Chains A and B, each alone.
Chain A
Amino acid sequence: MTNQQGPAIQVNGLEKSYKELRVLRGVSFEVARGSIFALLGSNGAGKTTAVKILSTLLKADAGTARVNGFDVAAQAADVRESISLTGQFAAVDEILSGRENLVLVARLRHLKDPGGIADDLLRRFSLTEAGGRRVATYSGGMRRRLDIAMSLIGEPPVIFLDEPTTGLDPQARIEVWQAVKDLAAGGATVLLTTQYLDEAEQLADRIAILHEGRIIVNGTLAELKRLLPPAKVEYVEKQPSLEDVFLSLVGTKA
């Protein structure tokens, strides 16, 4: 499924309404292979809607979208082979254990050695100890990490993460960021949505802002910063941020 040339994601004039409500009014952007693309937007801007269209869960009213070279409407099955989706709300099976969830997804992706894949991911996401427990007993952060781990099974070339770090503690957040960076370093293309500007700053090669149904800016962090008047040079004593304090107290190496 890597026969395709050109951008990993191409979106052109995408429109979507829910009855009267026009959520997407001509959204266009491209995401280069192997890059991390952040879609920013306030609540209700339509980020989840866009991600659902790109992951074949929703049909657009107008416009085209290609993922890994495949049209999301006409070649949905090929798109599904190429992607993984981590939705905004954890999509895990509460009654199964963490390990069983991972094995289930590995089986559904028709992979060899589902058990080995599951154990490996449990280790990578610090869930080995909890792996045998029912997910119903997990904390929100553990659930989210399992959710993301489930999405990485099968190493799909294009990865959608809808607000991957909402509800995580700073430490888990940094773990997820590291996982996302590793994915891109391994050649995967990542599209993530977020409301945290620092998350976009940290991770993204390009950032787009979705506002009132359109992409109003799209560029690298440096390009976006140039949109504002040049920074004034001011001398201030640097105070540690609350995040710095928290992280030093709970003892992470960030």
Chain B
Amino acid sequence: MAKHFFGDTTVLLGRSLRHITRSPDTIITTAIMPVALMLMFVYVFGGAISTGSGTPYVNYMLPGILLITVASGIAYTAYRLFMDLQGGIFERFQSMPTARSSVLWAHVLTSLVANLVSLVVVMLVALLMGFRSAAGVPAWLAVAGILTLFTLALTWIAVIPGLTAKTMEGASAFSYPLIFLPFLSSAFVPTGTMPGPLRVFAENQPVTSIVNAVRALFAGQPVGDDIWVALAWCAGILVVAYGFAMRVYRRRIT
């Protein structure tokens, strides 16, 4: 059955990508919220926020905005998976001699593609707003790698509600706390200004290390330990979410 895994996954990926190109609004709506946040933070709050870094505020907050983009984008992954299960097409695929986990992988890869497109859209808006980077090619590749790993990790989290939700709202509600997480991190203000317990949380949650690493890479500065902490968080979340999602999936298909 593994013999058709790549072929079947490719065919099903083509199907999901067609869904996206036929409703490109999902990519746009994914990008709208982060872009609106970016406008608000840069033009409304930005003047009052002192980051102490001497760079334009848009440079400072873009990494956090990118993570918010992914966090809101994966809600659609859960939604698309949920709709397949509801519509019965999932059962059709499962009753066919198709590689067992191809359906799931097709959704995961689609999520990756859709989120990367949204990220590019947000990045272009940031450029218009004056974002500039000193990063060379290796640093850009590192940013792309971190964001890809982050997207994969969050996508596997999204698979779980996609498979288990009873309602459409339930399938996407899980993403709200994930969207909120960057606000409790170093994404918009330095953690140093936060009160005690909040500061401890902010400094030790995954978003802060990811944001710090991406920010340093964009600025062409040394990243230090942040990148390893960031990668460890992403890999750890990925492994746990994947394991859990696969267990839910196996239970679902037997």
User: Is B one of A's binding partners?
Assistant: yes
Flag if B89 contacts A105 (CB, 8 Å).
no
Q: Which of A78-100 contact B (CB under 8 A)?
A: 80-81, 83-85, 87, 89-96, 100
Residues of B within 8 A of A134 (CB): 22
A9 part of interface (Cβ distance < 8 Å): no
Residues of B within 8 A of A81 (CB): 97
Contact of A87 among B1, B4, B7, B92 (CB under 8 A): B92
Q: How far is the CA of A87 from the CA of B4 in the complex (A)?
A: 24
- Residues of chain A having any CB pair with chain B under 8 Å: 55-57, 59, 77, 80-81, 83-85, 87, 89-96, 100, 104-105, 107-110, 134, 150
B28 part of interface (Cβ distance < 8 Å): no
Q: How far is the CA of A109 from the CA of B94 in the complex (A)?
A: 12
Flag if B94 contacts A57 (CB, 8 Å).
yes
Q: Could you list 12 A-B pairs, sorted by A, with CB under 8 Å?
A: A56-B95, A80-B98, A83-B95, A84-B95, A87-B91, A91-B89, A92-B87, A92-B89, A95-B22, A100-B18, A108-B93, A108-B98
Contact of A108 among B11, B23, B87 (CB under 8 A): B11
Flag if B7 contacts A57 (CB, 8 Å).
no
- Residues of chain B having any CB pair with chain A under 8 Å: 1, 4, 7-8, 11-12, 15, 18-19, 22-23, 87-89, 91-98, 254
Flag if A93 contacts B15 (CB, 8 Å).
yes
Contact of B18 among A84, A87, A96 (CB under 8 A): A96
B59 to chain A, nearest CB (A): 39
Flag if A80 contacts B96 (CB, 8 Å).
yes
Q: How far is the CA of A23 from the CA of B201 in the complex (A)?
A: 51
Q: A92-B89, A110-B7 are in contact. Are A85 and B97 (CB under 8 A)?
A: no
Residues of B within 8 A of A91 (CB): 87-89, 91-92
Q: How far is the CA of A150 from the CA of B22 in the complex (A)?
A: 22
Q: Give me the 9 closest cross-chain CB pairs, A-B, nearest first.
A: A91-B88, A91-B92, A85-B95, A80-B97, A107-B11, A81-B97, A55-B95, A91-B89, A108-B98
Residues of B within 8 A of A83 (CB): 95
Q: How far is the CA of A48 from the CA of B42 in the complex (A)?
A: 57
Contact of A150 among B91, B92, B94 (CB under 8 A): B92
Flag if A90 contacts B15 (CB, 8 Å).
no
Residues of B within 8 A of A95 (CB): 18-19, 22-23
A153 to chain B, nearest CB (A): 9
Q: How far is the CA of A107 from the CA of B12 in the complex (A)?
A: 9
Contact of A85 among B1, B8, B92 (CB under 8 A): B92
